[in-house]
């Protein structure tokens, strides 16, 4: 839409009412580009009306609908002519920008697109008391917003969230709840990871077995409790899929929230669910079976069979019809080389095409698919690996393990999702004893907040190729929506700020201040989140393979400066790398060589740690004494593990 749309709320009061200052400072997330706070506030009254120009009516109805639910006010939407609506509009804020002016007697929202208006409405909602997000009428709330002038626009055009619905399944209504949470944070791209080894989740009419077989497995898998999910079919199998009707509904629901849905159909790897249903398209003879665990599996599509391409093209043809997005994700990550190197037909194909490595064969595969995708007016996006054997011409690279800078330098568009800043399946704390079991890693909120999507060293002239960033949620160990939300928030709010707000304006302390109201908003919306608290653990040491023996022996770390008070020290031994782990017999503390505390339980630290937190009751420290932490450990399955030792000694709560 070219005309400028305006939305004016509550111009019915002529008198200036400089009511009390708002109780709290504005806490908009993501932080607007420009915001001036003025004295006074706008009070939303029951007789307020929303005037909207022709192009603003839909957003006005959206805003009115939200406001009505919690205020109970009628809030009529009144159509105005476009001439008065566009008066004084600023059209320089880009396709997603908006201007919001809150004064004591009116709220005026202007944008050059309905997307900008929608984002302005989100900011306005965040200026009102958090009860505005209640789904029921809330009495006795002073519905006022502080007077502000905001001019706002996003830094990046791709502000994404990826959800893996293959490892675990979330139904249509659950996906829509996630879209609502994205919209609140002005995130605009939902990357829907619809297929993988553990389940195929999209109905394809031409290949019904993809969902009758490929969408179901014998149980929840991944070592999770069967009651951690309700996603069971009538026959008791675990799984589910979206019908084409549901897919269209989700795409429309997202569009109403100015979110583009990018479908991902994984190829040539991560294809076991598809191959369980249609083994004839695989490398090797099969049979294939949907696994109950994650990892990189050998069940991959065969590029040497013309019928494989026919199948994938048929699937993509249906996908193109379901999704309005001009961009389609075809995966391309983690293709194990062995199936192709051991397959005579693939070897013959490589010889015929002059391809020297499996990477080049993958590239050949991707380029062939890209031709088909482009011929249908769509653009292909794939994970880092699609660039390895020569990048398909117009492809967009989604960088998770590098290659983004090189691809951008080569003229490709890039979306940055590096594991070290964007993998929301990683632990949010180093203290695993207080977190749900996760895949591993460590990605605290502050680290996400410090993410810089533009790779270091990229020529400024080429930075426009960095479309933005995205949080990825792989769901091996996440079987239900509440757990999805816990992993996503507040880290996804931090990513929203990274991708929307000005780099220079980012300030973690201010972000965590704003989180207090953000959390109240999420409470109103019924969205689960992790309560942010700074990491209080201190790293007091580490161990190297040279210190680990196959029989039990003690390792010692100096903690003299860490014994600061009487209390209970929480000590954890956290494996970080190596093929093996260590069994732990006990952890103890000595004062000038004499043991004063010990936790005698057995634990293990490795890829799947168990009981690796030790509690030591510490008496009041003796000035000048030397304190040593000791642990008796033995390598398990080998002695190559590396890890860190953490110490947390919270002060005893003050006595009355
Ligand atoms: C990925 O995490 N395998 C893209």
Q: Residue 379 in 3-state DSSP?
A: strand
Phi and psi at residue 125, in whole multiples of 5°?
A: -60, -40
Measured torsion, CA atoms of residues 118, 119, 123, 125, in degrees rounded to the nearest 10? 30
Q: Which of 126, 152, 178 is the last residue of a domain?
A: 152
Residue 621 lies in a domain: yes
Q: Is the confidence at residue 134, as pLDDT, over 90?
A: yes
**Where does residue 221 fall: left (phi above 0), alpha (psi -120 to 50 degrees), or beta otherwise?**
left
- Rounded to an integer, the average pLDDT of 110-126 is 95
CA dihedral 284, 266, 240, 316 (to 10 degrees): -100
CATH number at residue 72: 3.30.379.10
Same domain, residue pair 300 and 346: yes
* 308 within some domain: yes
- Domain boundary (525, 558, 593) is at 525
How many other C-beta atoms can be found within 10 angstroms of the C-beta atom of residue 266?
28
Per annotation, catalytic residue among 131, 164, 196, 574: 196
Domain span at residue 298 reads 158-525
For residue 428, being part of any structural domain is answered with yes
* pLDDT tens sequence across 139-169: 999 999 999 999 999 999 999 999 999 999 9
pLDDT value for 233: 97
Per-residue pLDDT at 656 exceeds 60: no
19, 115: one domain: yes
**Do residues 163 and 236 both lie within one domain?**
yes
Q: What does the alpha-carbon distance between residue 6 and residue 87 come to, in Å, rounded to a whole number?
A: 9
Residues 6+ apart with CB under 8 A from 139: none
Same domain for 431 and 557? no
What does the pLDDT look like over 202-232, one tens digit per residue? 999 999 999 999 999 999 999 999 999 999 9
- 453-463: average pLDDT: 96
Q: Give how many domains the chain has, as a whole number.
A: 3
| Ligand 1 centroid, distance to 249 Cα (angstroms) | 27
DSSP 11: T
143 and 236 part of one domain: no
- Measuring CA to CA, which residue among 346, 191, 210 is closest to residue 283? 346
Q: Kindly give the distance from the C-alpha atom of residue 489 to the centroid of ligand 1, in angstroms, as a whole number.
A: 20
Start-to-end C-alpha separation, the chain: 65
- Same domain for 424 and 488? yes
Q: Which of 129, 152, 175 is the last residue of a domain?
A: 152
Of 160, 331, 332, 334, the residue with max ligand 1 atoms within 8 A of its CB, to mutate for a pocket test, comes to 334
Record the tokens describing residue 631, joined without a space: 């642990």
Neighbours of 544 (CB within 10 A): 12
Kindly report whether the global pTM for this prediction surpasses the value 0.85.
yes
Query: How far is the C-alpha of 159 from the C-alpha of 259, rounded, in Å?
Result: 10
Residue 497 appears among annotated catalytic residues: no
Does residue 169 belong to any structural domain of this protein?
A: yes
Are 347 and 463 part of one and the same domain? yes
How remote is the CA of residue 296 from the centroid of ligand 1, in Å? 10
Q: How confident is the model at residue 21 (pLDDT cuts 50, 70, 90)?
A: very low
| Beta carbons within 8 Å of 336's beta carbon, 6+ residues apart | 269, 296, 297, 298, 300
Which numbered atom of ligand 1 lies nearest the CA of 419?
2
At 558, which CATH number?
2.60.120
The single residue of 185, 191, 193, 270 carrying the catalytic annotation is 270
Q: Which residue has the higher pLDDT, 5 or 491?
A: 491
- pLDDT recorded at residue 6: 54
Map tokens 């960088």 to a residue: 399
**Is 532 inside a domain boundary?**
no
Read off the pLDDT of each residue in 375-382 and give the average, rounded to a whole number: 97
Ligand 1: atom nearest CA of 398 is 4
Compute the 3-state secondary structure of the chain and give helix, strand, coil in percent, each to the nearest 5.
30, 25, 45
Confidence (pLDDT) at 433: 80
Residue 530 lies in a domain: no
Regarding whether 505 and 575 lie in a shared domain, the answer is no
**Strand (E) positions, 112-215?**
144-152, 158-164, 189-193, 195-196, 199-200
Q: What average pLDDT score do residues 419-426 get?
A: 96
Nearest CA to ligand 1 atom 3: 333
Q: What is the pLDDT of residues 562-594, one digit of tens each?
A: 999 999 999 999 888 888 899 999 999 999 999
| Annotated active-site residue in 334, 360, 410, 523 | 334
CA-closest candidate to residue 241, choices 269, 213, 206? 213
169 and 147 share one domain: no
Does pLDDT of 103 surpass 80?
yes
User: How far is Cα 343 from Cα 363, in angstroms, rounded to an integer?
Assistant: 18
> CATH number, domain at 207?
3.20.20.80
For residue 415, being part of any structural domain is answered with yes
Q: Is 592 a catalytic residue?
A: no
pLDDT at 536: 83
Neighbours of 46 (CB within 10 A): 10
Mean pLDDT, rounded, of the chain? 92
Same structural domain, 512 and 611 = no
Closest CA to 164 of 446, 437, 477: 477
**Average pLDDT score over residue span 74-88:** 73
d(CA 215, CA 200): 5
Average pLDDT over residues 598-608: 91
State in Å: Cα 400 to ligand 1 middle: 7
Q: How far apart are CA 121 and CA 133, in angstroms?
A: 13
Tokens, residue 615: 């509690």
Q: How confident is the model at residue 89 (pLDDT cuts 50, 70, 90)?
A: low
Domain co-membership, 198 together with 79:
no
**Beta pairing class for 466-473 and 158-164:** parallel
How many residues belong to the chain?
656
Nearest CA to ligand 1 atom 1: 333
Phi, psi angles (nearest 5°) of residue 557: -130, 140
Residue 23 pLDDT more than 60?
no
Does 514 lie in the same domain as 496? Answer: yes
Contacts of 560 (CB under 8 A, 6+ apart): 625, 626, 627, 628
Question: Minimal CA–CA distance to 198: which of 111, 289, 125, 261?
Answer: 289
Residues having CB within 6 Å of any atom of ligand 1: 333-334, 383, 400
Residue 531 is assigned to a structural domain of this protein: no
Catalytic residue flag (residue 334): yes
Distance 219 CA to ligand 1 centre (A): 23
Asked whether residue 18 carries a pLDDT value surpassing 50, the answer given is no
85: three-class secondary structure by DSSP: helix
Residue-wise pLDDT tens digits, 277-292: 999 999 988 899 999 9
The minimum-distance atom of ligand 1 relative to the CA of 423 is: 2
Index of the ligand 1 atom closest to the CA of residue 331: 4
Mean pLDDT, residues 348-352: 98
Q: CB–CB of 645/539 below 8 Å?
A: yes
Residue range 486-512: mean pLDDT, rounded: 98
């Amino acid at each position: 839409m070219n005309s400028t749309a305006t939305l004016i709320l509550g111009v019915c009061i002529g008198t200036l009412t400089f009511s009390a200052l708002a109780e709290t400072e504005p806490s908009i997330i993501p932080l607007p580009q420009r915001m001036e706070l003025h004295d006074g506030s706008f009070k939303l009254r029951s007789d307020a009306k929303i005037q909207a120009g022709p192009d603003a009516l839909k957003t006005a109805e959206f805003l009115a609908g939200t406001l009505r639910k919690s205020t109970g006010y009628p809030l009529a939407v009144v159509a105005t002519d476009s001439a008065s609506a566009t008066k004084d509009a600023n059209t320089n804020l880009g396709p997603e920008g908006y201007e919001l002016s809150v004064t004591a007697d009116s709220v005026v929202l202007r944008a050059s697109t309905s997307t900008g208006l929608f984002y302005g409405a989100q900011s306005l909602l965040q200026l009102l008391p958090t009860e505005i997000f209640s789904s029921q009428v809330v009495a006795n709330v002073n519905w006022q917003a502080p007077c502000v002038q905001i001019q706002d626009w996003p830094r990046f055009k791709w502000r994404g969230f990826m959800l893996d619905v293959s490892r675990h399944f979330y139904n249509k209504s659950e996906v829509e709840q996630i879209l609502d949470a994205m919209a609140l944070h002005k995130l605009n791209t939902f990357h829907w990871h619809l297929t993988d080894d553990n389940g195929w989740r999209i109905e394809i009419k031409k290949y019904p077995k993809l969902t009758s077989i490929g969408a179901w497995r014998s149980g929840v898998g991944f070592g999770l409790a069967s009651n951690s999910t309700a996603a069971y079919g009538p026959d008791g199998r675990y799984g589910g899929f979206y019908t084409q009707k549901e897919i269209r509904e989700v795409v429309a629901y997202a569009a109403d929230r100015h979110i583009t849905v990018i479908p991902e159909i994984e190829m040539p790897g991560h294809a076991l669910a598809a191959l369980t249903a249609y083994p004839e398209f695989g490398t090797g003879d099969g049979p294939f079976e949907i696994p109950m665990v994650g990892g990189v599996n050998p069940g991959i599509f065969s590029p040497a069979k013309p019928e494989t391409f026919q199948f994938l093209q048929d699937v993509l043809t249906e996908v193109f019809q379901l999704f309005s997005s001009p961009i389609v994700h075809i995966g391309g990550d983690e293709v194990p080389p062995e199936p192709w190197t051991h397959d005579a037909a693939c070897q013959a194909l490589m010889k015929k095409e002059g391809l020297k490595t499996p990477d080049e064969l993958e590239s050949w595969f991707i380029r062939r698919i890209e031709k088909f995708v482009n011929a249908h007016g769509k653009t292909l996006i794939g994970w880092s690996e699609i660039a390895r054997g020569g990048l398909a011409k117009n492809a967009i690279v989604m960088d998770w393990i590098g290659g983004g800078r090189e691809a951008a330098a080569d003229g490709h568009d890039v979306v940055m999702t590096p594991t070290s800043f964007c993998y929301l399946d990683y632990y949010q704390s180093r203290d695993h004893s207080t977190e749900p079991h996760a895949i591993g890693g460590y990605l605290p909120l502050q680290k996400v907040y410090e993410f810089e999507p533009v790779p270091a060293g990229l020529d400024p002239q080429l930075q426009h190729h960095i479309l933005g960033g995205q949080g990825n949620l792989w769901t091996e160990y996440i079987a239900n929506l509440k757990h999805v939300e816990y992993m996503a928030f507040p880290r996804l709010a931090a990513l929203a700020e990274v991708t929307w707000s000005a780099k220079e304006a980012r300030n973690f302390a201010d972000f965590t201040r704003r989180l207090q109201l953000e959390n109240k908003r999420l409470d109103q919306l019924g969205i689960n989140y992790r309560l942010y608290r700074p990491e209080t653990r201190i790293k007091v040491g580490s161990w190297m393979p040279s210190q680990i023996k196959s029989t039990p022996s003690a390792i010692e770390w100096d903690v003299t400066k860490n014994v600061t008070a009487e209390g209970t020290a929480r000590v954890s031994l956290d494996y970080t790398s190596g093929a093996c782990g260590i069994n732990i017999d006990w952890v103890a503390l000595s004062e000038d060589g004499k043991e004063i505390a010990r936790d005698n339980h057995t634990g293990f630290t490795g890829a799947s740690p168990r009981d690796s937190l030790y509690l030591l009751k510490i008496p009041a420290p003796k000035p000048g004494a030397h304190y040593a932490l000791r642990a008796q450990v033995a390598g398990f399955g080998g002695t190559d593990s590396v890890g860190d030792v953490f110490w947390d000694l919270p002060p005893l709560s003050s006595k009355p």
